[in-house]
Every structure is written in C-alpha cells, then in structure tokens.
C-alpha cells in the first residue's frame, strides 16, 4: 500500500487499523457467521416463547393461540428467511 505524505496522525492510524481489522473479518466470513448466530438464537428464543405462551394460555381456543403465535413468528420469518438464504449463497461451493 502506498502512503501519502499527509497520511500521518492518529486518525490515519485508526483508519488503517480499522481497514486491517475489516480485512481480517471479511477473509474469514466472521460477519456472515455472526448474522447466522443471531438468526438462530432469535429463532430459538421465539420458539421457546411460543411454547411457554401456549402452556400458559391453555384455556383459550387453539385458533386464538395459533393466531397470536403466528402474529409474532411471521415477521421473524420474513427476517430470518432472507438471512439464511444470504448465508448459504455466500458460502463457497465445495
């Protein structure tokens, strides 16, 4: 990397280190793995919540419980599905 004479000072040093850190993260796909961990943990938490919700509201009709659970899980599915597709599309074939 060629440096200019004006590339001195703490901000330039910080920018260089940030770029090196991002190169490290990008080469190892750490960002992709972190997104997948968040999606999986969110799915686990929501599934646990849904199970507890159905246990606590056993006196309501199944339709009411199902609609309430679906109202919470449907938006999450709209977030999780593209994230999972992005993760598997980003993986190298092999």
Residue 43 belongs to some domain of the structure: yes
Q: Who has greater pLDDT, 31 or 63?
A: 63
Whether 19 maps to a domain, the answer reads no
Contacts of residue 86, defined as CB under 8 A and 6 or more positions apart, other chains included, come to 32, 35
pTM of the model: 0.70
Q: In the chain, what percentage of residues exceed pLDDT 70?
A: 89
Structural domain contains residue 13: no
Model pLDDT, residue 2: 64
How many domains does the chain contain in total?
1
Residue 11 lies in a domain: no
Place of tokens 């060629």: 2
Residue 4 lies in a domain: no
What is the domain range of residue 69? 29-90
Q: What is the pLDDT of residues 21-46, one digit of tens each?
A: 989 988 888 888 899 999 999 999 99
Answer yes or no: is 14 within a domain.
no
């Amino acid at each position: 990397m060629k440096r200019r004479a004006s590339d001195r000072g703490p901000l330039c040093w910080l920018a260089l280190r940030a770029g090196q850190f991002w190169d490290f993260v990008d080469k190892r796909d750490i960002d992709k793995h972190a997104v997948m961990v968040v999606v999986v943990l969110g799915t686990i938490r929501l599934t646990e919540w849904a199970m507890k919700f159905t246990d606590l509201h056993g006196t309501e009709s199944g339709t009411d419980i199902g609609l309430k659970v679906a109202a919470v899980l449907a938006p999450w599915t709209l977030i999780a599905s593209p994230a999972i597709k992005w993760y598997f599309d980003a993986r190298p074939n092999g």
